[in-house]
Amino acid sequence: MTNEIIKLNAKDIATKIATGELSSVEVTQAHFDRIEKVDERVHAFLHLTKESALSDAAKVDAKIKGGEKLGPLAGVPLALKDILAMEGVPTTAGSKILENWRPPYDATVVKKLRENDIIILGKTNMDEFAMGSSTEYSAYGPTKNPWDLERIPGGSGGGSSAALAAYEAPLAIGSDTGGSIRQPAAVTGTVGVKPTYGAVSRYGVIALASSLDQVGPCARNVLDTALLHKAIAGHDPRDSTSINQSVPDVVGAALKADVKGVKIGLVKQLGGEGYQAGVQQRFREAVDILTSLGAEVHEVSCPSFEYALGAYYLILPSECSSNLAKFDGMRYGLRVGDNVENAVEQVMSMTREAGFGPEVKRRIMLGTYALSSGYYDAYYGSAQKVRTLISRDFAAAFEKVDVLISPTAPTTAFKIGDKVDDPLAMYLNDVATIPVNLAGNSAMSLPIGLAPEDGLPVGLQIMAPVMGDDRLYNVGAALENALKEKWGHLLIEEVQAL
């Protein structure tokens, strides 16, 4: 019975729980059984909340028996990226400097999940402080890709994407600063959405780069992702960057799934040289399918996108340098060197030396330099000007088309260890996803097939205007339906490594 339950999508699980065909306790236990069976090999989770999850599931079952009308995902299990505070539960952001820290409060997203009676299975692995594209920079060891356990599951949210692909959870939460939801989705054959900046609260999210970070939904299909998006989105007065507008009808758009007359732009700068041949082949095939469904496809030029990577790796380290200054060994988390003289300064230095990994240190140093006297205007200031140009490119493009599309990542999943010692090669994995974060608009990655060279998943990225998140789900669901009809199943069902 466990295998039958874990193969269900989130919507079907919720329906069966609501009708009494399954209990939430039964579903939750089935997923813990799956985690026990496979996670020693995958390492998607850092911490499980089994006792509280089963207790919450029992409460859902009691509510249903009592005749209460619950939300559309009530009783469905979820994997939570370890960058969101959860009261009383270890929250590390993949770093030793926060080892064993237990927050005294819930992030707003966690609060919303509880209000929607979604069951949190535990916290998932990630690159330290969300800095990475492979989940190899986690202080607690790498996560493996369920399609091939010798390969990366993407990053920084590789734990969440791997949990989905390994059928350890039907839903997951990630965060996306430069592609950390979308790139893992692409290489694991799952769906991930970076909502409009400010559409989902960042309160209680451990900050990497405050002007770029965005929490978002992950699942194995478009409709499940839309249902989760609706559950977590909305205005939050505790987040000063939160947008005080109603959430677009993402669920209705996913159900509509009709691209007749929709204008789709192919971004000239996101493709070609540097992109794997199989990625380009599957992308072209997906474009042909969209055309056959009645979409109008045009090439669009966004010339400033060529400078996005350089601008991003000045803005992000600068904000990271500022945000991570609070991890000083004085107030919470790791503390090293209590017995030294000149205690405060040396404790801070020794704690940060011991607690931060090499990638975090690299970015802190880059950011501190970019913000230093005499260099601020030349580096950080110039990067912000490029950011403005990128936003203008998006605005101009969306005057001509409804959405933009590109490959999500230049390649399929690479082998663990291949790029960990080459920062530039690692950074290039996010070349197609970074522009969206710099501009603050929304984007989705969904699977479009397996690359012929290696049999690994390829993702297509859909980009929409600010607060145009519903467009992602309409186009994404239409393409997913066409591909499912072509293959006879969802791509994720071809996972074989486990």
How far apart are alpha carbons 398 and 463 in whole angstroms?
A: 10
CB atoms within 10 A of CB 322: 16
Annotated catalytic residue 373:
no
Any idea which residue has 């519903």 for tokens? 470
- Considering 175, 180, 201, 445, which one is annotated as catalytic? 180
Sign, Cα dihedral of 79, 218, 238, 318: positive
**Taking a C-beta distance cutoff of 8 angstroms, is the pair 344, 352 a contact?**
no
Residue 198: phi, psi to the nearest 5? Answer: 95, -5
Catalytic hit among 156, 201, 321, 445: 156
Q: What is the DSSP letter of 452?
A: T
Q: What is the phi/psi pair of residue 93, to 5°?
A: 55, 30
**Interaxial angle between packed helices 222-232 and 108-115, expressed in degrees from 0 to 180 and rounded to the nearest 10:** 110
Catalytic annotation, pick one of 11, 16, 81, 144: 81
Contact 443, 182 (CB under 8 A): yes
Structure tokens at 362: 């690299």
Query: Which stretch of DSSP H or E encloses residue 173?
Result: strand 171-175
Tokens 């820290």: give the residue.
101
Q: Which amino acid is at 92?
A: T
* Residue 211 appears among annotated catalytic residues: no
Q: β-pairing, 442-450 with 457-464?
A: antiparallel
Active site residue 81: yes
Interacting residues of 458 by C-beta distance below 8 A, sequence separation 6+: 186, 278, 279, 282, 283, 407, 412, 447, 448, 449, 450, 451
Chain centroid to CA 174: 4
How does strand 45-48 pair with strand 457-464?
Answer: unpaired
Residue 472 Cα distances to 226, 253, 336, 467, angstroms = 10, 8, 47, 11
The answer to whether the beta carbons of residues 169 and 190 sit under 8 Å apart is no
Residue 220 and residue 9 in contact, taking contact as beta carbons nearer than 8 Å: yes
| Contact call for residues 8 and 16 (beta carbons, < 8 A) | yes
Catalytic residues: 81, 156, 180
